[in-house]
């Protein structure tokens, strides 16, 4: 599996945006959706995010901004903590 960015990594405003990322097999689905059937990838993204969510992602992608590294670290540290809590809850529910 590899991380696919609907809007390419060069679009720094959404490079680390979870809405812009999908795990896809390499090279199969990743190459197919990014190079061969972009419309199918777009349709998937609209189903995943809803039209309003996709439109918001598109707007964020096309709003140039310099990445804020400190904010990125804070955001992802919070996501890691949330995932750790979910893993603990899941493990304790199996006992």
- pLDDT tens, per residue, the chain with 95 residues: 888 899 988 888 888 899 999 888 888 888 888 888 899 999 999 999 999 999 999 999 998 777 677 877 887 788 889 889 888 888 788 76
27 shares its domain with 58: yes
Which residue segment(s) compose the domain that 88 sits in? 67-95
60 shares its domain with 72: no
Integer Cα distance of 80 and 95 in angstroms: 23
49 shares its domain with 75: no
Quote the pLDDT of residue 67. Answer: 67
Q: Strands 2-5 and 21-24: what pairing? A: antiparallel
Integer Cα distance of 36 and 20 in angstroms: 19
Q: How many domains does the chain have?
A: 2
60 shares its domain with 71: no
82 shares its domain with 45: no
CB-facing half-sphere around the CA of 41: CA atoms within 13 A: 19
37 shares its domain with 83: no
């Amino acid at each position: 599996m590899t991380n696919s960015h609907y809007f390419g990594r060069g679009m720094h405003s959404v490079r680390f945006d979870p809405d812009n990322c999908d795990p896809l097999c390499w090279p199969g689905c990743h190459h197919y959706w990014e190079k061969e059937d972009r419309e199918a990838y777009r349709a998937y993204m609209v189903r995943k995010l809803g039209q309003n969510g996709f439109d918001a992602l598109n707007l964020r992608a096309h709003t140039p901004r310099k990445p804020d590294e400190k904010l990125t670290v804070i955001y992802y540290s919070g996501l890691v903590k949330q995932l750790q809590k979910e893993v603990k809850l899941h493990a304790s529910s199996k006992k």
